[in-house]
Structure 1
Amino acid sequence: MGSSATPGSPDALADLLEGTGYLSDTGVATAAFLALRMRRPLFCEGEPGTGKTALAVALADGLGLPLIRLQCHEGIDSAQALYEWDFPRQLLHLRALEAAGDGALEVDAAERSLYTERFLLARPLLRALTTAPCVLLVDEIDRADDEFEAFLLELLDENAVTIPEFGEVRAETPPLVVLTSNRTREVHDALKRRCLYHWLEHPDLPREIAILRGRLPGIGERLAGQIADAVRRLRGLELLKPPGVAESLDWGRALLALGREELDAASAAATLGAVLKYSEDLDRARSGLDALLSRER
């Protein structure tokens, strides 16, 4: 990505992100700015719901670039991430050639015609190499296995890939790569060394209030403060899945949909399903609603 597209400072990038609705702290803005300026992948690690994926979306939106997302999962392989050949269309093409030649095929010419861009199904990584410039989000890399991690490392080093039947595909402009991890397993040092690293924390109370007020038009300062404070207390409990910012926003939307202007015990009990997703977590929260809603501010 050319430096002309890069905001001139971390503060300028923070302002750009804020224009998309993403409120970054100084650490996030600086890490993202350096990734842009140094043309290095950005490896974002942290608890679920801390804004890792949203950062990549906001960067693409703010910079006016296409976002290409690769969602990693257990068992993902290079074919799913890079490319596949469209075998059904290739078969139809062969049949058309046979029909045109009255059943006779010139084998070498037919084979060459099969392996062209027309029949190449580009998956996210190949699309990122051929879409210049763009933001490539490799989401939850910790869910993939070691073999895929090694493959990804090689591709990031070269910004190119060789397709045996087709040839080399090289990025004219390397994508801005954002990798995320929820740390379900440790990602190898070789991949981390290739990247700039940033650990994302949940936002502090004032920033979470600002996020709620910025993303939910019509929410009052009192309700936003009550939600942010209650969510902060929920994160301090031993929950199976502590709520992230997305759950804070869902809670706010649920309360606004019910016409609530403040968070009391009755409205909290009725809407906890917007913020907690396990029955055990719901039981734990409901058993301590008074403590959850008491505010010391």
Structure 2
Amino acid sequence: MTARAPRTRVQRRPVHGVLLLDKPLGLSSNDALQKVKWLLRAEKAGHTGTLDPLATGVLPLCFGAATKFSALQLDAPKTYEAIALLGATTSTGDAEGQVLQRRAVDPAQLTPARLAAVQAQFTGAIHQVPPMYSALKKDGKALYEYARAGVEIERPAREVTIHELQLAPVQTDAGDAALKITVTCSKGTYIRTLAEDIGEQLGCGAHLVQLRRTGTGGIGLARCVTLEQLTAMDEAARLAALLPVDALLAQHQRVVLDAAEAGRFLTGLRRRGPWPDAPAVAVYGAQPHALLGVAHAAGGELIPDRLLSPVEIEQILQGAASA
């Protein structure tokens, strides 16, 4: 028997920053994260909320100290472009499921006036019943596990917010009637469910056949790299593709502390100063200029929320110096 060659062990290293990935079709968010983590040889990594395997688009990946701020993107508004095939509903709400029902598509339901009325109906605060094929938990078990076993679980409707919605009739490559849905929405919005509900309102049913996230929290596709591009880069170029740790903090107020105050802040102590109340503050040290963490300001106090460690700050400064 031929002996198997030993596997090459990847030498991990501290990597700090944010990589904006244009997630490819067919990969789960975690699979994409693990591939990028391996390419960067990073010690610690996390993503900022999942995209279904059938979805593509903006997926910020966090490494090292940036993982402390990954949850901030969970609450950020998201923008999607989707194609919904009209005239058929499926068990999953997308093209992976079995067709449940087929209905004729009435062209009168796709006029500009009718679509404008439907847009208005689904804009603002709306209620959605989460799909059975979702990762929501019931008694510690994901709903999709019940669905695969043929068990239907009662799900209460949840309020979500549709900030902007545009509907336009299109045709698939096969010539079938479809709808292009462009939507900016709050966290917790299921685009599959939105497509299904719009299809029901149009009287013909619908299911998603394409979904692409084009933006999250002010981050768009223009700044993203693909997995293929990253794979083709050398190691230096991959590291250069990383954005700074504070790339996810663009909407935060900024406060700079002198050396003495920065040292106290890093121990978790509240600091007093002339700061207006603010729910989200990015706090920096003056010399050297470095991100210390995030906080909120209330009643003239700067209150730490998430802090970088001195080791992380030193590694970030060293990385910037060698870049």
Superposed pair shares fold, TM > 0.5: no
Higher helix proportion: 1
Length-normalised TM-score, structure 1: 0.29
